[in-house]
Chain A
Amino acid sequence: MNMPLPPDPGELPARGRLGAWLSRRVDRWAHTARHPLFWVGSREMAGVSIGLTAWAFMTGVAMVKSGMSITESVLMSLLVFAGSAQLAAIPLMAAGAPLWVVLAAAFCVNLRFVVFSLHLRPYFMHLRRSSRLYLGYFTGDVTYVLFTRRFPRPPETNGQRRAQMAYLWGGNVTNWVFWQSLSMLGIFLGAALPARWGLEFAGTLALLAVACSMVTTRLRALSAITAAAAAIVLFELPYRLNIVAAIAVAVAISLYVEPRWPRGGEREGARHA
């Protein structure tokens, strides 16, 4: 199946080495994309993407409506590639919060990915570290859910490894294309709509909907209410430190109450972006 590769890059001049490297990359990509499961992953992802496109569009509108320039919004969308972290960071950036507060809030919103990465570790450990991080960066909430649903077990043979990577990349590429195109559309349309409408409120509602989807246990509801109350009571704190303080208070109270409450629902990961 493989195309013959060019000679050992060591024997070639610099431009030839670049060409050899590129042709290897392209060949590896074609190798993955030729696998039938690449298209299965892509199709299954496309089915779920209708919901995500609305989401991406909203993120684009919220960025540009918060006062970021088009260049900044496009860069943020292409590089950060994390809807809810972006939505959480946007109002903080607009309010002039210090860098570490914005990053701390983004980190906390993204903590669910830490849980996903623990789950995906046995699936990815056959790759080199750089490939693992690269693949992890492109694996969002929905592709993670679809991937682990289709493959309940880590791969054992090379054939299984290739099939799993093909399926995952199929989903990831589709997800990325849908997400970025709708996010760009939101940025450019959002810039044309009047500020008086307060369209950035859609970003707040988007985060509210994700928060609702995370209320799967009574303790999480407690954490949500405590954090909301603390963020309002501590609003006078400078540099929007109320956000970090509210997270700390809510987590501390939840951890304190956890062993003392009769167990309600069991632990369950959040499934939405």
Chain B
Amino acid sequence: MHELDGWTLLTILGMTAISVITRGFFFISEREWTLPEWAERGLQYAPIAALTAVIAPDILLTEGAIGPLLRDARTWGALAAAGFYFWRRRSSYVLPVAIAVGMAVFLPLRVGLGW
């Protein structure tokens, strides 16, 4: 419970460096400079791609294959959260409430029905 794995520590330190580098990316150099044009355009699309690439397998795959999606608590939880988000996207607390709605659908199905 309190052990500290060397590999995990290395990952944590690497991620700390990434926090510093990305948040201070244009503060590092004193000179005025910009990214190449294609990289600047690419910045628009990479973050959302990274997020959906990480979550899609976590939501849709069961042991490496697409399982019975309709009998899976994760499918309904994710649909509820996304549905709520787009229904109420203007309100200021939509993010945490969307997560709560998703979990409110997910937990009864997972704990109650074992989906």
Contacts and interface: CB of A to CB of B under 8 A. Distances in A.
Contacts of B11: 89, 93, 99, 102-103
A211 B77 CA distance: 15
Given A70-B2, A111-B22, A209 B98 contact: yes
A125 B28 CA distance: 10
Interface in A138-163: 139
Contacts of B50: 88, 105, 108-109, 111, 227, 243, 247
A207 B59 CA distance: 11
B70 interface: no
Contact of A226 (B49, B51, B64, B89): B49
A119 to B, nearest CB: 9
Interface of B: 1-5, 7-16, 18-20, 22-28, 30, 34, 38, 41-61, 64, 66, 73-74, 77-78, 81-82, 85-86, 89, 92-96, 98-100, 102-103, 106-107, 110-111
Most buried by B among A88, A109, A230, A242: A109
A201 interface: yes
The winner among A110, A205, A219, A242 for most chain B CB atoms within 10 A is: A205
Contacts of B54: 88, 91-92, 105, 207, 231, 243
A270 interface: yes
Contact of A115 (B14, B43, B53, B78): B43
Interface of A: 48, 50-51, 54-55, 58, 68-72, 75-76, 79-82, 84-86, 88-89, 91-93, 99, 102-103, 105-118, 120-121, 124-125, 129, 132-133, 136-137, 139, 191, 196-198, 201-202, 204-215, 217, 219-220, 223-232, 235-236, 242-243, 246-247, 250-251, 254-255, 258, 267, 270, 272
B51 A84 contact: yes
B14 A108 contact: no
B92 to A, nearest CB: 7
Contacts of B44: 217, 219-220, 254, 267
